Copies of this chain bind each other. A is one copy, B any other.
Amino acid sequence: MSKVVKIKNLSIGGGNRIAIQSMTNTDTLDTDATAAQLKALQIAGCDIARLAVSSEDEVKACKPLICKFDMPLVADIQFDYKLAVMACEIGFDKIRFNPGNIGDENKVKILVDACKAHGVPIRIGVNTGSLEREYIGLPPAEALKKSALKHVALLEKFGFYDIVISVKSSDVKTMIDAYRSLAEEVDYPLHLGVTESGADIRGIVRSAVGIGSLLCDGIGDTVRVSLSGDPINEVEAARLILQESGIDKNYCQIVSCPTCSRCKYDLKALVDELKAATKDIKTPVKLAVMGCVVNGPGEARDADFGVVGGTGGKVAIFAGGKAVKTVDHSEVVPEILRMIEQKSKI
């Protein structure tokens, strides 16, 4: 298990809830647009938001945003350590910066001192797309890890350990290998992501494979799904991946069979109805909606509640693994909602 790093009022690592991150794509100088996007991200469930900061004016423009939001804000800075120092001073809660890019250890010390003074952790964020020349040619996962460890060593040299690390790639296999290998060597919290994963469903699927498989192996403390487009989609995709990987159980999970010739009712329609009816549930409930008696009772046994199709327009309702009643199709949704409500009261 990784060590804990505190970012403002949020602790990541050490078995804490996996935090969801995103990044604004408004012009950082346009404070109103950026504030509106940060607000929307927060409402959508974003735990930590990052802003690209490329100039002194941009750092300064962030000051009112930092005051306005409880949500920890991260300054993404590429090469300029002075901007990073300024970001600490102005109140950013974390910076994303690769100290190996500064080229002068005295400057690294100045940055570390600023971070220490202001309690600001640093995320080292290595990407295949911006790997230093010296690592090009190595197997890509190894190159990512070596680059990350070089940056880490620079910070540790100055007694700085408030570190989060990412080793992203747009190639899923590369990022899986890099994170696995990194997790064996360090106990800093890991920030998971597939870079430049594209847009829409493709990007979500690519991220699900990369991020989800690491989370299932117990690797990763915070995630960002990078999608081209509105960053709100990133937050929703991240939540989906956390839920469907089995990491976040605080929702109504509907397990439903794909149906086959054995299914004698419109299961998909019932699933859609139940999905809509249970979408706001924030406690762990597992609901199995099954077509027939082959896998039905077995899945229903593993779920809190089950619906198993029978013949003659009736379905059996299961609770706690036992068939408790038989109802008409029209009664399924209210009956299940009633049972979930009753359960949540216990």
Point out residues on A near B: beta carbons under 8 Å: 23-29, 50-54, 58, 76, 78, 127-131, 170-173, 176, 195-199, 201-206, 208-209, 212-213, 216, 226-229, 231, 234, 240-241, 243-246, 254-263, 267-268, 271-272, 275, 288-290, 294-299, 302
Contact = CB atoms under 8 A, between A and B. Distances in A.
Contacts of A216: 172-173, 176, 209, 213
Given A196-B257, A202-B243, A202-B244, 15 more contacts: A23-B258, A127-B295, A129-B290, A129-B294, A129-B297, A129-B299, A199-B256, A199-B275, A203-B256, A205-B208, A208-B212, A209-B212, A228-B257, A228-B271, A231-B258
Copies, count: 2
21 contacts: A29-B261, A51-B260, A51-B261, A127-B295, A128-B298, A129-B297, A129-B299, A130-B295, A170-B299, A172-B212, A176-B216, A195-B299, A197-B255, A199-B268, A208-B208, A208-B209, A208-B212, A228-B258, A229-B258, A229-B268, A231-B258
SS class, residues of chain A in contact with chain B: mixed
B209 A244 contact: yes
A289 to B, nearest CB: 8
Contacts of A26: 261
B129 A198 contact: no
A95 B341 CA distance: 43
A229 B266 CA distance: 9
A294 to B, nearest CB: 5
CB-CB nearest 9 A-B residue pairs: A213-B213, A209-B212, A129-B295, A129-B298, A129-B299, A52-B260, A208-B208, A206-B244, A226-B258
B261 A209 contact: no
A58 B271 CA distance: 27
